[in-house]
Amino acid sequence: MIATRLRSALLALSVTAGLTGTAVSAEAASVTALSCRGVGIDPAAQIHHRTEKLIKAPAAAVWKLHTDVAGWPAWQPAVTSAKRLDPGPLRPGSRFRWTTPVPPTPTTPATTLVITSTVEQRQPGRCVRWTGPAIGDGLRIDRGVHVWTFTPVRGGVLVRTEESWTGEQIEADPATAVRYLALGLDAWLADLKTTAEAR
């Protein structure tokens, strides 16, 4: 139960749309930023993180699972609700709202973030990029930017993700923000891998 709550909290911070900080991880600093249709995270953001995972499942199945936003709560314990705000396939201009609990940190209270994301770029089966604010009681991320890429490889698909966050409140403690972002992105990828490989 505690592990699930911690994962939920960590994912909540990462799903918001991006954490980028002055304290950039060595991994993120040494690699070219991810992009979808030539656009990546906010290059001026102080808080960001990048990670990747090989998923041993068909690329099309992983893409479908990941882009079925309304289905996220079924396989991600950290996503407590997710709703499309428009009909049809996920495409540029599509909007969705989702929620995730966040634990207290030294500078923010425990809360539930309400994240409203807008798809900015998408290339079917290859990449998606969305942006948006995350707002909770006592915690606000003004703008998150989240990029996902899906590269078919022998035996599966290499999923890479990079996220940045901007906002005065989170920029006051970038080390904590980056730590939670990294843990949240890792949890999201782990859940995606577990679910996709079990199907």
User: Mean pLDDT in runs of 10 for the chain (199 residues)?
Assistant: 39 38 38 91 96 97 97 97 95 97 87 97 98 96 98 97 96 92 95 97
| Residue of 56, 29, 71 whose CA lies nearest to 178 | 29
What distance in Å separates the CA atoms of residue 54 and residue 192, rounded to the nearest whole number? 10
The bridge status of strand 95-102 relative to strand 156-166 is unpaired
| CA angle 121–124–125, rounded 5-degree value | 120
CB contact at 8 A, 115 and 133 = yes
What's the chain's Rg over C-alpha atoms?
15
Q: Are 130 and 148 in contact (CB under 8 A)?
A: no
pLDDT the model gives residue 108: 84
**Is residue 180 within 8 Å of 105, Cβ to Cβ?**
yes
Whose tokens are 């002055």? That residue is 22
Whole-structure pTM over 0.75, yes or no? yes
49-65 tens-digit pLDDT: 999 999 999 999 999 99
Is the CB of residue 159 less than 8 Å from the CB of residue 6? no
Size of the chain, expressed as the number of residues it contains? 199
Residues with Cβ within 8 Å of 174's Cβ and at least 6 positions away in sequence, in order, are 21, 22, 23, 46, 47
